[in-house]
Structure 1
């Protein structure tokens, strides 16, 4: 990671947010969804759950590349100078078995209210392997972070 101050902003932003906007695509059509998320502390993997009978699940079956937006805006004028947004780019895969159990433990520590939802056979549980993150602060300062596979 680059500047330590920006790294701290990025880490705090990503680890403090419970929700993210997930962008998927079906052919040429983009699609955005709000999802509950949990990230590993090293910011290399993110987890989310979704019902199997959703457009985002169908999109992921066709194209696993995703972008997720996390931000700390408050819809106040101060956002123009204080808000930060991170776009996380990576590939999603549905987890099963022991990998699902490990990811789900982290996810449910963050979202215990979703235990019944994630236990349903109709729920798919995904991991996103983060490849790059773009952090934007003050609406114009952009830092790019790369993670090696």
Structure 2
């Protein structure tokens, strides 16, 4: 089941990022890419946003990734909703950051201007666990070491 969960992460590129600061939740629709192993998710944000401030104050996050685009119409009962729990990390290594930027541009060419903005920051979410709702009643939970 863990590989199925990682496959959902790798097959998609849009999620909802939930952050919390001072007890106040905040959600953001985010473009993302993942590493090959399905252990890390990479995103970009302006450093002057509420979400980025929240990440710096509380690195624990939750992401929602789903398959609603694949399961339209009568197939909605087959939608899979994957909740990813993880931890925000900055990326210090300039070489790694450049590699991620190149991969991000390949997957999301419409974000070129955003990625080139000096106020934008690429960051990582290290995945800790998954909860998959497969359809309306089948739920599965997996942790990553």
Q: How does 1:133-144 map to 2 (within 5 A)?
A: 133-144=130-141
Distance 2:61 2:104 in 1: 19
Displacement after TM superposition at 1:77 (Å): 4.2
- The reply to whether residue 92 of structure 1 matches residue 88 of structure 2 is yes
- The reply to whether residue 108 of structure 1 matches residue 105 of structure 2 is yes
- The reply to whether residue 29 of structure 1 matches residue 27 of structure 2 is no
Displacement after TM superposition at 1:32 (Å): 0.4
Distance 1:101 1:26 in 2: 30
Match of 1:129 in 2: 126
Displacement after TM superposition at 1:11 (Å): 3.7
Distance 2:132 2:6 in 1: 10
Displacement after TM superposition at 1:57 (Å): 0.7
Residue aligned with 1:139, SS: coil
Aligned residue-pair number:
142
Alpha carbon RMSD of aligned pairs, Å?
1.7
TM-score (norm 2): 0.88
Match of 1:51 in 2: 46
Structure 1: where are the runs of 5+ without partners?
none
Match of 1:15 in 2: 10
Structure 2: where are the runs of 5+ without partners?
none
Match of 2:63 in 1: 68
Match of 1:147 in 2: 144
The 8 Å contact of residues 129 and 141 in structure 2, kept in 1 or not, is answered as yes
Residue aligned with 2:37, SS: coil
Deviation string, structure 1 residues 111-143 (Cα, Å, up to 9, x no partner)? 122222112111011101111111110122111
TM-score (norm 1): 0.86
